[in-house]
Structure 1
Amino acid sequence: MTQEISNLSGEAISLLKELIGTPSFSSEENETALLLEQWFRDHDITFHRENNNVYAFNKHYDQNKPHLLLNSHHDTVKPNSGYTRDPFKAEIKDGKLYGLGSNDAGGALVSLLAAFTYFYKKQDLSHNLIIVASAEEESSGSKGLNSMLEILPEIDVAIVGEPTLMQLAIAEKGLVVFDAEVSGTPSHAAHPNSNNAIYNCIDVLSWFKNFNFPKVSEVLGEVKLTVTQIKGGNQHNVVPAGVDLVIDVRVNDCYTNNDIARILKDQAPCKLTPRSLHLNSSAIPKDHPLVKSGMALGRSTYGSPTLSDQAALSCPSLKMGPGDSTRSHSADEYIYMAEIEEGIELYINLLIGFLQKTTS
């Protein structure tokens, strides 16, 4: 590790400590946006802000070159009840940096900031570099990365920073959430009723349990359909008119979200209403130069079951970052300091390999 990269690593970890100490729930990221603005000022980088999204372009921007987006988010979920530590106090113990958002996705965000800063003043890059520290990722809100795509130039390829142990997530499942209604006939519990909505749920739940989408992705596997919520009735002596279900569908790259909605609405034995169809699956070809650059560094490829801001992008995108996805949204969240240091160096080497290959 060169002295320049070592210095950037130290500064990135200091920034992450500040971010942890600053609450930034989705749509409430103003204070962390100010911290990110200060990073750019401290490194003499021209930056812009749109709502709580902070973004910048490399110094020698050339509109005739393709665009590579570096993106991660600075919002967090709310801490769960299992925390034994102060979620807003950055603490280091046994090489671990504890705190809410340390792993998801603070480590990836500060590592990408460091990598962008490393390349900011360099000339003769094959691509323009754009970094967006985005808001509202955890809530899939309307003022996050999706809103930035109307402002930014067309993106040709992207790296989305999320905890992947710095392995290469070359595909990501999409998401469709359905509200389902199982109907019946309301009645007094003391009277006969052959159309009890709660009993009708037995066959409906069995149908969802056994239903399979036939197309299986080489990278992402099967579409995963799960009933996650059920609600019906509010009095012990009244049979309700209906029971509400929530269906969570994780979509592979063999289907669009519109395909999933059409198939289920045609075949499911109950009324279904999708909440949204915009969180589609995403992928990047395994032979893409960006992926090849990562593989040359000993990184492996896989398909990710979790959702990120990749869902907002229509270009080839790679999900990669320090930290472990299994720690995300967990109590006493943490990231290893060494993971951040490794992440910054790997991001830089990944980009060096990509920019050299695409230039030659």
Structure 2
Amino acid sequence: MSAAPASPQSAPDAVTLAQDLIRCPSVTPADQGALGVLEAVLAPLGFRCERLKFTAPNTPDVENLYARWGEGPFGENKGPNFCFAGHTDVVPVGDAAAWSVDPFAAEIRDGQLYGRGATDMKSAIAAFVAAAGRFIAARDGKIPGGISLLITGDEEGPAINGTTRVLDWLKDKGETLSVCVVGEPTNPLRLGEMMKIGRRGSLTARLTVHGVQGHVGYPHLADNPIPKLLDILSALKSRRLDTGNAHFEASNLEITTIDVGNPANNVIPANAKAVLNIRYNTEQSSAGLKNWIIRTCEAVCGGQGENRALLGTRFDLMLEDGAMPFLTKPGPFVAAMAEAVKEGTGREPELSTTGGTSDARFIQAYCPVVEFGLVGQTMHKVDERAGVDDIRALSKVYEGMLQRFFDGLAVQR
């Protein structure tokens, strides 16, 4: 762990730091120096930095960073701890020739910073670091608590050796987080439009229906699995799961692939496969959805449990939880963060739970969490970019969040 200097240096420029981070081609799971760039800026500001490398079988090793400003060693914090969470890993650039710029050159054109990670989400990390530096300097280091950054290199990957492992490490150290802001891009079109206060859950079902291969001219000697698979999918898709609630849109089930792999038009296949995903709100539960899927498969294929192979068509089903739904209920913390957004952008943000998943799904089990970042129009796309003015405005929003938190407006749910 790097030692804190006697007095913090001046805050970095958010746009310049964003450029330095983008120039590190940190495609998951490679770090390529991105965390080192952050350490080199955070340490002079007074942050103690801990590099955390985690491994797990059949997954790539991942470098992570936990940095904290404030008195006392880990587990002996004085006052609340405001955490910012983000990731320095990025998705691949795709066809580099399709870009109008070098994806890792961090070029600024017409007020836009181009590069992979400009929106998702290196610029947001840079914006928070700059905000924290200004805030610490403005208070002359007299802050009743800690400021921390939890930065992973595994958000765009399997998410196994990243945020979850860092959170476990913090728990083992006795380190607590009071609240957390995740810097994912949350705004549809303009900065300040939307702040995320929750996310829907994600459940994936991988279904294989087994039949008996045979000649299409002799169907009585075969058992075609395709009609049964389609009947299962039709039954699942036809149910309206719910209509949503005050904070969540309706749950939805989507069939993402159907595969048979049969090259012959005169052969009844032996197996038929499908994958589906359910994005569900707090009206549903993982256990309830899983039971419903299993019962539907049994009703179509015949038989139950171990007897289904004898009484009807056999099926295999794998059910995988991607995330559980969560909501940070509106209260002092949410209100204070929304006020900072309005002050910094002139727009009152919609409190939303839309979109996919993020590492907030892990952090919510430890402390209240909201998400606010840049406009997400170009994330994961060719010519990903963020407005320079937006980056600077986002940094002002983060500074306002810190001010409100430490002024006592948002230290509880």
- Do they fold alike, i.e. is TM over 0.5? yes
Following the alignment from structure 1 to structure 2, what is the Cα–Cα distance between the partners of residues 67 and 258? 34
1:148 is matched with which residue: 160, 163, 166?
Answer: 166
Matched residue, 1:67? 81
2:225 is matched with which residue: 178, 183, 197?
Answer: 197
Gaps of 5+ in 1: 1-6
The Cα shift of 1:44 comes to 4.5
Matched residue, 1:128? 146
Gaps of 5+ in 2: 1-9, 54-62, 301-314, 343-347
Q: In the alignment, is the contact (CA less than 8 A) between 2:28 and 2:154 conserved in 1?
A: yes
Following the alignment from structure 1 to structure 2, what is the Cα–Cα distance between the partners of residues 44 and 127? 14
Matching of residues 244-263 of structure 1 within 5 Å: 244-263=273-292
2:354 is matched with which residue: 291, 297, 304?
Answer: 304
The Cα shift of 1:104 comes to 0.7
Matched residue, 2:304? none
Q: In the alignment, is the contact (CA less than 8 A) between 1:278 and 1:311 conserved in 2?
A: no
Q: In the alignment, is the contact (CA less than 8 A) between 2:204 and 2:322 conserved in 1?
A: no
Matched residue, 1:334? 385
Q: In the alignment, is the contact (CA less than 8 A) between 1:58 and 1:120 conserved in 2?
A: no
Matched residue, 2:328? 284
1:17 aligns with 2:19: yes
Amino acid of the structure 2 residue aligned with 1:160: V
Matching of residues 1-360 of structure 1 within 5 Å: 8=11, 11-51=13-53, 52-61=63-72, 63-81=77-95, 83-85=98-100, 86-120=102-136, 122=139, 123=141, 125-152=143-170, 153-165=175-187, 166=192, 167-192=194-219, 195-214=223-242, 216-236=244-264, 237-268=266-297, 269=300, 271-275=316-320, 277=321, 279-287=323-331, 289-297=332-340, 298=342, 299-300=348-349, 301-313=351-363, 314=365, 315-324=367-376, 326-358=377-409
Q: In the alignment, is the contact (CA less than 8 A) between 1:72 and 1:105 conserved in 2?
A: yes
The Cα shift of 1:126 comes to 4.7
Secondary structure of 2:13's counterpart equals helix
Secondary structure of 1:272's counterpart equals strand
Matched residue, 2:59? none
TM-score for the superposition, normalised by structure 1: 0.88
The Cα shift of 1:49 comes to 0.7
Identity of aligned residues (%): 24
TM-score for the superposition, normalised by structure 2: 0.77
Amino acid of the structure 2 residue aligned with 1:286: P
* TM-aligned CA distance change 1:357 to 1:80, over 3 Å: same
Name the larger-Rg structure: 2
Following the alignment from structure 1 to structure 2, what is the Cα–Cα distance between the partners of residues 79 and 37? 25
* TM-aligned CA distance change 1:103 to 1:186, over 3 Å: same
Following the alignment from structure 2 to structure 1, what is the Cα–Cα distance between the partners of residues 40 and 78? 30
> Per-residue displacement from partner, 1:70-93 (whole Å, max 9, x unpaired)?
101111111234833332222222
Q: In the alignment, is the contact (CA less than 8 A) between 1:184 and 1:200 conserved in 2?
A: no
Following the alignment from structure 1 to structure 2, what is the Cα–Cα distance between the partners of residues 26 and 256? 31
Following the alignment from structure 2 to structure 1, what is the Cα–Cα distance between the partners of residues 237 and 122? 37
Secondary structure of 2:24's counterpart equals coil
Matched residue, 1:3? none
The Cα shift of 1:305 comes to 1.9
Following the alignment from structure 1 to structure 2, what is the Cα–Cα distance between the partners of residues 38 and 343? 22
The Cα shift of 1:309 comes to 0.4
